[in-house]
């Protein structure tokens, strides 16, 4: 999770004059829940923070922190001669240190009572906590924030024993790298962990149901990741499913387009096929709180259809990143502390970053979604390969690009995708433009340092300006013709 913001310590802690009564009860101490608890306590509100597991949630314990630590350490293993066992031990040690640090900080925040247990709604203003040590406690509150996170989605592969099945919750607990790791799924986790474990020394095979890897992003992204997998000698099978496993021979059998393939020597299978929000057993149905398989729908402030109950983070269909949970938590804090203040704007386009090799960063909808929102003739696509840059030339880059979708005539940036060695660090400028609905014209006079990968943004801006300005009459006519016309139906 993101490191905790500064909070008041308990050195001058005041006693709750009404035990069991709170301004807000937060269920879940992950990124979103901690943001709300710390934010409200800094504004003088009394908060109960309910958590049945480890403080920090998935990100600290089984997600961002251990995975990014692993990605960093495998890059330096050859310099220091570390074994896979030593690297994985260091990953756990670094993770545990941060978890202990966060837990100590949270338990020391003035105005926050930490209850270790499982929370369940008894009403719009009442929460029952089943304590880990036994017994229950009932809390009365003005508001409830559900920040309950999610768990790995699992499937049954006939013949696959439990002790050879991994999820993100068990992956980093391995004493050493598997000999042959099969990853089921071709999404974000697969993109990151396939390369990391290949560099750690494992043979890696990826099995993905869809026709292309990272199928939720732009097709050129999938092409670059496929090229990266080939360069790292990672086998991947698209339009494929894992059918069965033979534990005697350690063989995973895969169906790909009607043909059976045998992956031999697979000693571990990592399920990386998505997440399931932890919304069961919260007592939502008796209260009439609407739910979907993707989570609990809310307004832009995070409120459910019961206005005293909020849902943020993985429990909310619109947030599946740590930074998105943090952002939702910040918006919820403002509405909870000052409900009379209007929240400007709707739910933002949350940026995404994938720490593969190379990195992939994006903000805004992919082109296929934009074409359902706007007429295709209104959208200009600008694409610059990093190999066209002097920095790309000096580094010998073969793969990587900046790809922008903009509105014709106005140049408003609709979405952006970057594939580059440090794509996550290049995205914020474009994220700002998308969020503020700003035009590429605003970037024309911005000076980019030379030689950098960010010059690709300048080149894309030049592409737009030098084609749009000479054709302004045509651009204006096209804009007026299609701006308010419904896009054609897509089969």
Rg of the chain over CA atoms, in angstroms? 25
What is the pLDDT, as a whole number, of residue 420?
98
- 440 class by beta-carbon count within 10 Å (0-12 exposed, 13-18 middle, 19+ buried): buried
| CA atoms of 96 and 162, how far apart (whole Å) | 25
> Given this model, what pLDDT does residue 9 score?
46
Q: What pLDDT shows up at residue 350? A: 92
Element (H, E) at 205: strand 203-207
Give the span between the Cα atoms of 86 and 110, in whole angstroms: 39
The sign one gets for the Cα dihedral 184, 187, 193, 195 is positive
Is 134 exposed, middle or buried (CB count within 10 Å of its CB: 0-12, 13-18, 19+)?
exposed
Specify whether the CB–CB gap between 34 and 4 falls below 8 A: yes
Taking CA atoms, 472 is separated from 366, 407, 469, 478, 483, in Å, by 26, 13, 5, 10, 15
Q: What is the C-alpha to C-alpha distance for residues 236 and 212, in angstroms, rounded to an integer?
A: 10
* Cβ density class 36-68: b for 16+ within 10 Å, e for less: bbbbbbbeebbbbbbbbbbbbbbbbbbbbbbbb
The per-residue pLDDT for 52 is: 95
**Eight-state DSSP code of residue 246:** E
Predicted pLDDT at 340: 87
What secondary structure letter does DSSP report for 257?
Answer: T
322 and 328 in contact (C-beta within 8 Å)?
no
Predicted pLDDT at 342: 82
Contact 322, 275 (CB under 8 A): no
Question: Which candidate, 205, 180, 234, 192, places its Cα nearest to that of 69?
Answer: 192
Q: Mean pLDDT in runs of 10 for the chain (491 residues)?
A: 50 48 97 96 96 94 96 83 93 96 94 97 96 96 97 97 97 97 98 97 97 96 98 98 98 97 98 95 95 94 95 91 93 92 80 96 96 95 97 94 97 98 97 96 95 97 96 94 84 56
């Amino acid at each position: 999770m993101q490191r905790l913001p500064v909070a008041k310590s308990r050195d001058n802690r005041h006693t709750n004059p009404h035990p069991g009564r709170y301004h807000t009860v937060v269920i879940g101490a992950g990124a979103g829940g901690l943001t709300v608890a710390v934010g409200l306590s800094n504004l003088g509100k009394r908060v109960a923070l309910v958590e049945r597991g480890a403080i920090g949630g998935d990100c600290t314990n089984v997600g961002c922190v251990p995975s990014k630590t692993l990605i960093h350490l495998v890059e330096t293993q050859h310099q220091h001669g570390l074994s896979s066992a030593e690297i994985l031990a260091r990953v756990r040690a670094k993770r545990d240190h941060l978890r202990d640090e966060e837990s100590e900080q949270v338990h020391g925040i003035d105005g926050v009572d930490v209850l270790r247990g499982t929370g369940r709604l008894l009403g719009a203003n009442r929460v029952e906590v089943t304590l880990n040590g036994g017994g229950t406690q009932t809390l009365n509150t003005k508001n409830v924030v559900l920040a309950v996170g999610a768990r790995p989605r699992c499937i049954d592969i006939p013949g696959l024993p439990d002790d050879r099945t991994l999820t993100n919750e068990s992956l980093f607990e391995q004493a050493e790298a598997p000999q042959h790791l099969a990853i089921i799924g071709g999404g974000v986790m697969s993109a990151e962990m396939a390369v990391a474990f290949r560099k750690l020394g494992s043979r890696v095979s990826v099995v993905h149901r869809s026709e292309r890897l990272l199928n939720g992003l732009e097709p050129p992204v999938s092409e670059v990741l496929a090229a990266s997998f080939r360069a790292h000698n990672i086998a991947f099978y698209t339009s494929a499913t894992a059918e069965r496993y033979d534990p005697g021979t350690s063989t995973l059998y895969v169906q790909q387009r009607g043909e059976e393939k045998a992956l031999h020597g697979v000693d571990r299978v990592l399920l990386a096929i998505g997440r399931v929000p932890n919304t069961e057993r919260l007592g939502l149905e008796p209260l009439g709180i609407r739910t979907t398989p993707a989570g609990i729908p809310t307004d832009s402030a995070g409120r459910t259809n019961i206005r005293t109950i909020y849902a943020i983070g993985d429990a909310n269909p619109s947030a599946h990143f740590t930074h998105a949970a943090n952002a939702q938590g910040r918006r919820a804090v403002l509405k909870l502390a000052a409900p009379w203040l209007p929240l400007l704007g709707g739910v933002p386009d949350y940026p995404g970053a994938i720490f593969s090799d190379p990195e992939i960063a994006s903000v805004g909808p992919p082109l296929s979604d934009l074409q359902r929102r706007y007429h295709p003739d209104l959208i200009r696509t600008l694409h610059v390969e990093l190999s066209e840059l002097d920095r790309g030339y000096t580094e010998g880059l073969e793969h990587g690009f900046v790809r922008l979708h903009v509105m014709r005539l106005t140049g408003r940036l609709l979405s952006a995708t970057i594939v580059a060695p440090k794509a996550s660090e290049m995205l914020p400028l474009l994220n700002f433009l998308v969020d503020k609905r700003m035009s590429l014209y605003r970037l024309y006079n911005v000076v980019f340092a030379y030689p950098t990968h960010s010059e690709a943004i300048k080149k894309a801006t030049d592409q737009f300006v030098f084609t749009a300005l000479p054709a302004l009459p045509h651009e204006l006519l096209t804009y007026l013709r299609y701006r308010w016309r419904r896009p054609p139906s897509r089969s």
